Structure 1
Amino acid sequence: MIVLGLETSCDETAAAVVDETRHVRAQRLLSQHDAHRPYGGVVPEIAARAHLDHLDRLVAETLEAAGVALADLDGVAATGGPGLIGGVIVGVMTAKALALATGVPFVAVNHLEAHALTARLTDAVAFPYLLLLVSGGHCQLLEVRGVGAYRRLGTTIDDAAGECFDKTAKMMGLGHPGGPALERAAVGGDPARFALPRPLRGRPGCDFSFSGLKTATRQVLDGLPPGPLSDRDLADLAAGVQGAVADVLVDRTGRAMTRLAADAAAGAAPTLVVAGGVAANRTLRAALGGLCADRGWRLVAPPPALCTDNAAMVAWAGLERLRLGLTDPLEFKPRPRWPLDPDAPKRAFAGVKA
Structure 2
Amino acid sequence: MILVTGGAGFIGSNFVLDWLAHSDEPVLNLDALSYAGNLANLRSLQADARHVFVHGDIRDRALLDRMLAQHRPRAILHFAAESHVDRSIHSPDSFLGTNVQGTFTLLEAARDHWSGLPAAERECFRFLHVSTDEVFGSLGPADPPFREGDAYEPNSPYSASKAASDHLVRAWHHTYGLPVLTTHCSNNYGPFQFPEKLIPLMIVNALAGKPLPVYGDGLNVRDWLYVSDHCAALRTVLARGRMGESYNIGGWNEKTNLEIVRTVCALLDEMRPDAAGPRERLVTFVADRRGHDRRYAIDARKIERELGWRPAETFETGIRKTLRWYLAHPHWITQVQSGAYRDWVSTQYGANA
Is the shorter-chain TM-score for this pair beyond 0.5, marking a shared fold? no
Higher normalized contact order (CA 8 Å, seq sep 6+, divided by chain length): 1
Q: TM-score, normalised by structure 2?
A: 0.28
Q: TM-score, normalised by structure 1?
A: 0.28
